[in-house]
Chain A
C-alpha cells in the first residue's frame, strides 16, 4: 500500500486535477480525451486497490478492516461517478467536477495508507 504505485497514483491524480481546473478556468467542457484521462486514472486506482486487497490476505490486517473496505469501495467508485456526472454536464462545470474528484483521490489514497499502516497486530 505504501509502494511507488500509490505515489504514482497520487501524482497522476494531482496532474490531472491541475489540467481539469485549467480547462474549467478556460471555459472548456470536458473533451473525449479528458474523459479518457479519467478512465486511465480509474485503471491506475484499480490496480492499486487490487494490490491492496491482496495485501489483506498476507496476514497484515489493518486494525480497522470495515473502514478500510469502506474506503476501498469509495476510492474505486469515485472517478467513474465523477466522469459520469461530468458527461452529464458538458460545460466548464463538468471540467470542474473532474478537477474536484481528482483532488479527492489523493486524500482517499493517503487515508487508505494510514489505515493500512496501523496494523492490528
Chain B
C-alpha cells in the first residue's frame, strides 16, 4: 500500500514553477469569486446572467487551482475538466461580448477575452492545460491516485 503522505509526482504544489502557477490561479480564483460575491449581494437584479457567470468562473478557477495543486489521477481529472471549461468559457464569452454586448450588460472576468484583466484569463487555461499535458502519466510510472 502506498504511503498516504506521498504527494503525487505531478502535483503542482510539489514544484517551484507549479507553485507560481498556483499563485496566479489562486489570485484569479479569489478575484473572480470576490467580485461575483459583491455583485450578487449588492446588485443582483441589474444583470443576473453576468453575475451568475462571474460566480461560475470563480468556481471554475477554484477547482482548477485545487486540481492542479493535488495532482494524481483525481487531481488531473479535476484540473483537465476545469481548464477545458475555462478555455471554452473565455472563448465563448469573449466572442459573444465582442459580437453583441446586449446579452452581457456587465463585465465578467471572461468578457472581451479577459481584456479587463490584461488578457491573462485567455492565456491561463493554455498554461494549465500545458501543465497537465507535460505531467501526463508515462508508461512505467508508479501509479498514483
- A interface residue numbers (CB < 8 A to B): 64, 66-67, 70, 74, 82, 85, 89, 91-94, 96-97, 100-101, 104, 107
- Asked if residues A100 and B38 are in contact (CB atoms below 8 Å), the reply is no
- Asked if residues B38 and A70 are in contact (CB atoms below 8 Å), the reply is yes
Interchain CA distance A43-B130 in the complex, whole Å: 37
- Asked if residues A97 and B19 are in contact (CB atoms below 8 Å), the reply is yes
- B interface residue numbers (CB < 8 A to A): 15-17, 19-20, 23-24, 27, 30, 34, 38, 42, 118
- Asked if residues A93 and B24 are in contact (CB atoms below 8 Å), the reply is no
- Distance (whole angstroms) from the CB of A9 to the closest CB of chain B: 18
Given contacts A104-B27, A107-B118, contact A96 B20 (CB under 8 A): yes
Given contacts A66-B42, A107-B118, contact A100 B24 (CB under 8 A): yes
In chain A, what residue has the closest Cβ to B16? Answer: A93
Interchain CA distance A18-B76 in the complex, whole Å: 33
- Distance (whole angstroms) from the CB of B15 to the closest CB of chain A: 8
Q: Which residues of B contact A74 (CB under 8 A)?
A: 30, 34
Q: Which residues of A contact B16 (CB under 8 A)?
A: 89, 91-94, 96
Q: 28 A-B Cβ contacts within 8 A?
A: A66-B38, A66-B42, A67-B38, A70-B34, A74-B30, A74-B34, A82-B23, A85-B19, A85-B23, A89-B19, A91-B16, A92-B16, A93-B15, A93-B16, A93-B19, A93-B20, A94-B16, A96-B16, A96-B20, A97-B19, A97-B20, A97-B23, A100-B20, A100-B23, A100-B24, A101-B23, A104-B27, A107-B118
In chain B, what residue has the closest Cβ to A78? Answer: B27
- Distance (whole angstroms) from the CB of B21 to the closest CB of chain A: 10
Interchain CA distance A85-B18 in the complex, whole Å: 13
Interchain CA distance A101-B16 in the complex, whole Å: 15
Interchain CA distance A83-B34 in the complex, whole Å: 23
Interchain CA distance A89-B13 in the complex, whole Å: 11
Interchain CA distance A82-B19 in the complex, whole Å: 11
In chain A, what residue has the closest Cβ to B18? Answer: A93
In chain B, what residue has the closest Cβ to A88? Answer: B19
Q: Which residues of A contact B34 (CB under 8 A)?
A: 70, 74
Interchain CA distance A70-B19 in the complex, whole Å: 25
In chain B, what residue has the closest Cβ to A70? Answer: B34
- Distance (whole angstroms) from the CB of A76 to the closest CB of chain B: 15
Query: Taking each of B16, B17, B24, which has the highest tally of chain A beta carbons within 10 Å of its own beta carbon?
Result: B16
